[in-house]
Amino acid sequence: MIEWDDEGAVLAVRKYGETSVIADIFTSKHGRHAGIVRGGIGRKLRPALQPGSQISISWRARLENQLGTFTIEPLRSRSAAAMGDKLALAGLNAVTALLATTLPERDPHPALYAKTIQLLDLLGHSSIWPLAYLNWEMALLDDMGFGLELGACAVSGANDRLIYISPKSGRAVAESAAGAWADRMLPLPDVMRGEGDATNTEIARALGTTGHFVENRLYRSLGGPKVPAARARLIDVLKSYSA
């Protein structure tokens, strides 16, 4: 019998049999991991199995490659923060959907897990959450091997007037070095480099740029799933907050 204990954030849950569910959980030490939760549709466990909830888990299976079962205990619920705020709900749905469709199963990502918990803890703080989400999405790209290089111009090495980013390399390009290729570049808002005003308008603009790499680098590398619609809904909500 194989057993381990960990903690994690619930990403998705689907019914299994009459009373159980299969929970997809982003764990601290064991990556994205699925398991059966007996009685998961019942009143006692259902609140702890909402997307974004943080739980303590014990996993058990006869063999390593089996689905196995989870025993869970709630640590922190985020339902109240999400249900009371349209932006928080859209953000929670985007984060859990992106993780559920990009993380390889059972592959640990401890640094990304820590950043994800920090982000989820900010749900409901609409003044700071959008910037935290942008930084998290850039961290997701980096952790999955598609990090952006924004410190210096890919052409000249300069670090001033970096207003473009190459859609192919993900590297910053200075205004003076773009030349005839400027109209083929993606915008590089200052907020992506930790500068300028982090308004919702600028963050939404930055998410348009990161979205190119999410769709054309990250999801294309997976060869199957499409970018979840929850991400587009988050940007729509963010824009409505900017109006």
Q: How far apart are the first and last CA of the chain?
A: 56
Task: Give the pLDDT score at 64.
Answer: 87
Total domains present in the chain: 2
Domain of 208: which CATH number? 1.20.1440
Q: Tell me, yes or no, whether 85 and 193 share the same domain.
A: yes
Of 143, 124, 146, the C-alpha closest to 80 is 124
pLDDT in tens, 77-119: 988 877 878 999 999 999 999 999 999 999 999 999 999 999 9
Check pLDDT > 80 for residue 242: no
Mean pLDDT over residues 137-144, rounded? 98
Mean pLDDT over residues 43-61, rounded? 95
**Percent of the chain residues past pLDDT 90, beyond the cut:** 85
Mean pLDDT over residues 227-237, rounded? 97
Q: Among 54, 77, 100, which residue terminates a domain?
A: 77
Return the structure tokens found at 207.
């998410």
Is residue 181 situated within a structural domain?
no
In this prediction, residue 126 has a pLDDT band, given cuts at 50, 70 and 90, of: confident
Q: Among 61, 77, 93, which residue terminates a domain?
A: 77
How crowded is residue 205: how many other Cβ atoms within 10 Å of its Cβ? 18
Task: Give the pLDDT score at 243.
Answer: 58
72: left (phi over 0), alpha (psi -120 to 50) or beta: beta
Mean pLDDT over residues 13-34, rounded? 96
26 phi/psi in degrees, rounded to 5 = -90, 105
Q: Tell me, yes or no, whether 64 and 16 share the same domain.
A: yes
Task: Give the pLDDT score at 228.
Answer: 97
Task: Give the pLDDT score at 196.
Answer: 85
DSSP 122-179: TTT-TTTHHHHHHHHHHHHHHHTT---B-SS-TTT---SSEEEE-TTT-BEEEHHHHG
Task: Give the pLDDT score at 6.
Answer: 98
pLDDT in tens, 155-203: 888 788 999 999 999 999 999 999 888 999 999 999 999 998 889 999 9
Of 117, 50, 46, the C-alpha closest to 82 is 50
Q: How far apart are CA 57 and CA 30, in angstroms?
A: 11
Q: Tell me, yes or no, whether 28 and 99 share the same domain.
A: no
Question: What is the pTM for the complete model shown?
Answer: 0.94
Is residue 162 situated within a structural domain?
no
Q: How far apart are CA 89 and CA 37, in angstroms?
A: 25
Mean pLDDT over residues 221-231, rounded? 94
Task: Give the pLDDT score at 100.
Answer: 97
Task: Give the pLDDT score at 42.
Answer: 92
Q: Which residues contact 79 (CB under 8 A, 6 or more apart)?
A: 47, 50, 52, 53
Residue ranges making up the domain that contains 97? 80-150+188-242
Q: How far apart are CA 62 and CA 115, in angstroms?
A: 32
pLDDT-wise least confident of 7-16, 83-92, 203-212: 83-92
* Integer angstrom CA distances of residue 166 from 95, 153, 156, 170, 233: 25, 10, 13, 5, 26
Q: Among 77, 112, 136, which residue terminates a domain?
A: 77
Is residue 202 situated within a structural domain?
yes
Burial class of residue 150 (count of CB atoms within 10 Å of its CB; 0-12, 13-18, 19+): middle
Radius of gyration of the chain (CA): 20
DSSP state of 74: E
Amino acid in position 79: S
Mean pLDDT over residues 117-134, rounded? 94
Task: Give the pLDDT score at 38.
Answer: 96
Domain of 70: which CATH number? 2.40.50.140
